[in-house]
Amino acid sequence: MKFTCTQENLMRGLSQVSHVAGRSTTLPILKNLLITAATEGVTLAATNLEIGVTTLVRGKVEVPGTFTVQARVLMDYVSLLANGNVTISLEGVELLVTSTGSMTTLKGLSAEDFPVIPKVTDGVRLNLPAAQLKTALSQTVFAVAADDSRPEISGILFHLHGTELTLAATDSYRLAEVKIPLTVAKEEQRVIVPSRSLSELLRLLPDEGEVQLVIGENQVSVQVGDLELVTRLIEGQFPDYTQIIPTSFTSTLTTEATSFAKVLRQVSLFCRSGINDVTVQYDAGTTKLSAANAQIGASDVELATSLTGKGGNIVFNWRFLLDGLAVLGSDDVALQLNDEKGPGLLVPVKPKKDTPPFRYLIMPIRQ
């Protein structure tokens, strides 16, 4: 195997795939990336057995071949090379990396032991704007359950129905939902995609262009240009969350999202550790956020809001509120409420252009 490519192209490809390479001590091959030199170019691939990422690097291939080398070591080394051409060749069981003024050998392993990254050829195909999918993932992935004790909520629900793709995530205390419009109607289908895979996809997605999704029976693949990510699906039934979303509300607070976030951070300094409780008191005149900690002190801060409906008070986890405000996609936010025992719903007042419809449900803290 022997090929030559630019340092910039090689570094771009390595940064896309190396993050997926695992740290397994039982399977050392998972620390490596697979390098395949062929007529169409150089393919780099990495997997941790849950996610597989493959990308194509433009270059001149002199001798075809395959080999694996530690992903982190190769990326760290290439990142320190000067701009210009880099030549990589296989010499026995070592990879020889040559560039202007430097020559390095890296130990590796045979490509025969590298796990096969499956190809998803059969399934439902979707073409989506990369920017829309990126926004939708950023608005949902943070709400996924942090542990795997309930696998069915350790990922994001992808629900295809008609001309709409709904993404939903929950950890039982909050729920984030985004609806992406489709140009072509699709047969109804529900799959759960692991959050770790989607966090990696979120890192890789560009701000423009088109994404092709193929949802298979056990895997889903996402392709953007020369980059492809394949991940397994989670088995199980996602909760029917529509039953807990109120159909009407008695109160709606409207305010500026950045002001709301600033006041939350200010009051949060006085929350009880581990509870993160902030009381929201609202009426026609004003809205006040407050928190008290016996060891630190107390804080009451007024927030300029517009109220529709009746007044009241409710206690929320301030971190949950702040998470929703951070991905709102709107300058102004509406907090819809019923009473101190019912959930609150955050929705954007005037979503920014091309932003999919988003809503964020938060369960209150009961005193």
Encode pLDDT of 304-349 as tens digits. Answer: 999 999 999 999 999 999 999 999 989 999 999 999 999 999 999 9
CB 168 within 8 A of CB 241: yes
What pLDDT sits at residue 25? 63
What pLDDT sits at residue 284? 82
Residue range 5-17, pLDDT digits in tens? 999 999 999 999 9
What pLDDT sits at residue 367? 67
d(CA 231, CA 121): 13
Neighbours of 213 (CB within 10 A): 20
Q: Which of 258, 272, 264, 254 is nearest to 321 (CA)?
A: 264
What pLDDT sits at residue 146? 86
What pLDDT sits at residue 40? 87
User: Is residue 137 classed exposed, middle or buried when 0-12, 13-18 and 19+ CB atoms within 10 A define those classes?
Assistant: buried
What pLDDT sits at residue 239? 94
Q: Which of 11, 108, 107 is nearest to 59 (CA)?
A: 11
Q: What is the DSSP string of 55-116?
A: EEE--EEEE-EEEEEEHHHHHHHHHTSPSSEEEEEEETTEEEEEETTEEEEEEEE-GGGSPP
What pLDDT sits at residue 51? 95
User: End-to-end CA distance of the chain, in Å?
Assistant: 67
Q: Which residues of the chain have pLDDT under 50?
A: none
What pLDDT sits at residue 186? 86
